[in-house]
Amino acid sequence: MHSAKSIFGAGLWRNNPGLVQLLGLCPLLAVTSTLVNGLGLGLATLLTLLVSNALVSASRGWLRPEIRIPVFVLIIASTVTAIELIMNAWFYGLYKVLGIFVPLIVTNCTIVARAEMFASRQPLAWAILDGLAMGIGFTLVLVVLGAVRELLGQGTLFVGAALLFGTTAQHWTISFSNDYPGFLLALLPPGAFFAFALLVAARNWLDNAFTERRTAPVADAGP
Amino acid sequence: MAFIAALDPRVKHTRNVSSIMCDVILALLPGTALYVWWFGFGVLVQICLAIVTALVCEAIVCGLRRKPMRQTLGDLSAIVTAWLLALCIPSLAPWWLIVSGTAFAVVLVKHAYGGLGTNIFNPAMAGYAALLISFPVPMTQWPGGDAATLDLAACLAVIGANTTALDGLTAATALDYAKTQLLLERGFDAMRGEPVFGTLASNGWEWIAVGHLGGGLWLLWRGVIRWQIPAAMLAALLLSALLFHLLDAQRYASPLFHLFAGATVLGAFFIATDPVTAATSPRGRLVFATGIGALVYVIRTWGGYPDGVAFAVLVMNMAAPAIDYFAAPRVLGTGSGQS
């Protein structure tokens, strides 16, 4: 019924949680002012999805349907609390930068949506794979959005990489121009909406182009 | 989807978009000429840069959208947008400012919403707001009287250099100056007679406003714009100014100052009257423009920015569909008429 390829195709492109399902937009728009912030929150969300999908799928056999949603919420909240403590311990700088958005992963609709729509109806292996695929899809959107906004807004990439990768990453910052005036709008909330809308448009445009190319020969060979 | 808008067969149509836009460009000429007279050739360079950027962007977007290029480029609306935006930014600002602002206005504000006729926001004002928010320093370095001494080559050098250091060529506008002095607890009596206020309101800028007033009245006479929007916007602004000026002439500027300083006249006749983004019913236009006038006064007097025409227009653009909904004329034979 499922295959690893179809699950990854859905998570990364066909049913991408950010660009197609348009879920979890609040953190998506709020923290993507730099690439590293986006990557940090993306990885935290990925880990949450992975663990919560696994736990939901493993416990699906003895959950009564009437109380499934509160149990999902409990599982997700415990997972996020654990991840928040881990980040507090080992990635303190990033934890401070992301602030309220780490505990708010609990409210990310993507996670409860995957628990309800997929993990609670599928065996453990598929649920873990789905969590991985959706998490990577969400992380990629956060990273691309953060990169575009950082590049437009301040003309750099990888600012603050040390927050995530330790002191060895201090020199990773790439600065493209010394007197770049800084397009402040890209860093402000309206810039997040503009950049995200353009990303969705670009994805739809590419998707249409692929579909056209795939269907064109069939149409030529018609009856 | 093919949607053909049929014209009313009983109305004789002699105007099309390009002839209206051509009139608007002609009406902008006196104000632009006075701008050159007072502040030098910089503004002409900005207008040329803006027009070239607007046409290139429009051509690229038309190619991407597979739209007929001759029709879209030929309606001159992109040139009017570019021209208005160029008049609104400081005339010696670096070249990338007007280029990025015009590209933003044409690509995102106009075409991403469907092109001329379906854009919600006034492209020139949205471009201006984006620039003002993104680049506050170069966007507030207004040319002073010394800028008029530069010849064309010197203007090109200043605009082409990627720098914002323009010492000696810039000066505060009257709105700016009054705002900072009021913060320092100096009243209008103490400021009276200072050169920045010129004869009417604002040295140099007041005559540009008079030029735009002439052009705007000519547009009214030609029937390109209707009286409701300029009249209601100016009335709302001037009446608010008069009320507060009578209450406390020290802290609130006179109506004359509000009329001839900043972008009041340009906004009332050329920007708020944009047929696409304004309300369209006669009563709706009155409400729409009254809102703009009142908001301009509020932003100028109590807001963080010295002038507020762009923000006021954008806010009322958002309200225009709702205004039209409530102010639509009653169709004959429907609703609760008298009798």
* B334 SS3 class: coil
Do B134 and A194 lie within an 8 Å CB cutoff?
no
How far is B234 from B240, CA to CA, in rounded Å?
A: 10
Query: Residue B238 corresponds to which tokens in the numbers above?
Result: 């001037």
Residue in chain B closest to A191 (alpha carbons) equals B130
Comparing CA positions, the residue from B215, B237, B226 lying closest to residue B279 is: B226
Distance from the Cα of B173 to chain A's closest Cα (Å) equals 24
Inform me whether the C-beta atom of residue A184 falls under 8 Å from chain B C-beta atoms: yes
Residue partners of B169: CB distance under 8 A and separation at least 6: B92, B143, B144, B146, B147, B150, B158
- Residues of chain A with Cβ-Cβ distance to B96 below 8 Å are 181
Per-residue pLDDT at B124: 95
In this complex, which of A179, A181, A185 lies closest to B130 when CB atoms are compared?
A: A185
Distance from the Cα of B135 to chain A's closest Cα (Å) equals 7
Do B138 and A181 lie within an 8 Å CB cutoff?
yes
| ipTM topping 0.95 | no
- Residues of chain B with Cβ-Cβ distance to A188 below 8 Å are 133
Comparing CA positions, the residue from B16, B139, B136 lying closest to residue B85 is: B139
- Residues of chain A with Cβ-Cβ distance to B135 below 8 Å are 181-184
Q: Kindly report the pTM of this predicted structure.
A: 0.87
Residue in chain A closest to B100 (alpha carbons) equals A183
| pLDDT tens for each residue of B141-152 | 888 877 888 888
The answer for A 51-90 residues in CB contact with B (under 8 A) is none
The answer for A 186-215 residues in CB contact with B (under 8 A) is 186, 188, 194, 197
- Indicate the pLDDT class of residue B14, thresholds 50, 70 and 90: low
pLDDT at B243 over 70: yes
Do B135 and A184 lie within an 8 Å CB cutoff?
yes
Per-residue pLDDT at B336: 61
- Residues of chain B with Cβ-Cβ distance to A179 below 8 Å are 162
Across the range B162-191, mean pLDDT stands at: 79
What sections of chain B are H helices per DSSP? 17-39, 42-65, 69-74, 77-88, 95-103, 123-134, 152-160, 174-183, 188-191, 205-222, 228-247, 255-260, 264-266, 282-302, 309-327
Residue in chain B closest to A180 (alpha carbons) equals B162
In this complex, which of A179, A183, A197 lies closest to B134 when CB atoms are compared?
A: A183
In this complex, which of B112, B133, B135 lies closest to A181 when CB atoms are compared?
A: B135
- Residues of chain A with Cβ-Cβ distance to B136 below 8 Å are 184
* B254 SS3 class: coil
Q: Which of B1-5, B80-84, B159-163 is most confident? A: B80-84
Following CA atoms B175, B181, B187, B192 in sequence, which dihedral angle do they give, to the nearest 10 degrees? -60
Inform me whether the C-beta atom of residue A182 falls under 8 Å from chain B C-beta atoms: yes
Per-residue pLDDT at B157: 83
How far is B222 from B83, CA to CA, in rounded Å?
A: 20
Do A183 and B100 lie within an 8 Å CB cutoff?
yes
| Burial class of residue A41 (count of CB atoms within 10 Å of its CB; 0-12, 13-18, 19+) | buried
| pLDDT tens for each residue of B20-33 | 999 999 999 999 99
Identify the residue among A179, A183, A184 best suited for mutation to test binding to B, counting B beta carbons within 10 A and taking the highest: A183
Q: What residues of B are in the A interface, CB distance below 8 Å?
A: 96, 100, 108, 112, 130, 133-136, 138, 162, 164
* B171 SS3 class: coil
Across the range B217-229, mean pLDDT stands at: 93
- Identify whether the C-beta of residue B61 lies closer than 8 Å to the C-beta of residue B107: yes
| pLDDT tens for each residue of B263-318 | 999 999 999 999 899 998 889 999 999 999 999 999 999 988 888 899 999 999 99
Across the range B27-47, mean pLDDT stands at: 93
Backbone φ and ψ for B75, nearest 5 degrees, come out as: -80, 0
Per-residue pLDDT at B162: 60
- Residues of chain B with Cβ-Cβ distance to A204 below 8 Å are none
- Residues of chain B with Cβ-Cβ distance to A197 below 8 Å are 112
| pLDDT tens for each residue of B119-134 | 999 999 999 999 999 9
Distance from the Cα of A185 to chain B's closest Cα (Å) equals 5
Per-residue pLDDT at B210: 94
Instruction: Tell me the count of A-B CB pairs closer than 8 A.
Output: 21
Do B134 and A179 lie within an 8 Å CB cutoff?
no
pLDDT per 10-residue tile (average), chain A, 223 residues = 83 88 86 89 93 93 88 93 92 85 88 90 92 94 94 87 78 80 87 93 91 69 44
In this complex, which of A179, A184, A197 lies closest to B134 when CB atoms are compared?
A: A184
Cα A170 to the chain's mean position, in Å? 25
Inform me whether the C-beta atom of residue A123 falls under 8 Å from chain B C-beta atoms: no
In this complex, which of A179, A185, A197 lies closest to B134 when CB atoms are compared?
A: A185
Comparing CA positions, the residue from A132, A126, A115, A136 lying closest to residue A50 is: A132
Q: Which residues pair with A156 in a beta bridge?
A: A175
Across the range B43-62, mean pLDDT stands at: 94
Other CB atoms within a 10 A radius of the CB of residue A136 amount to 18
- Identify whether the C-beta of residue B284 lies closer than 8 Å to the C-beta of residue B111: no
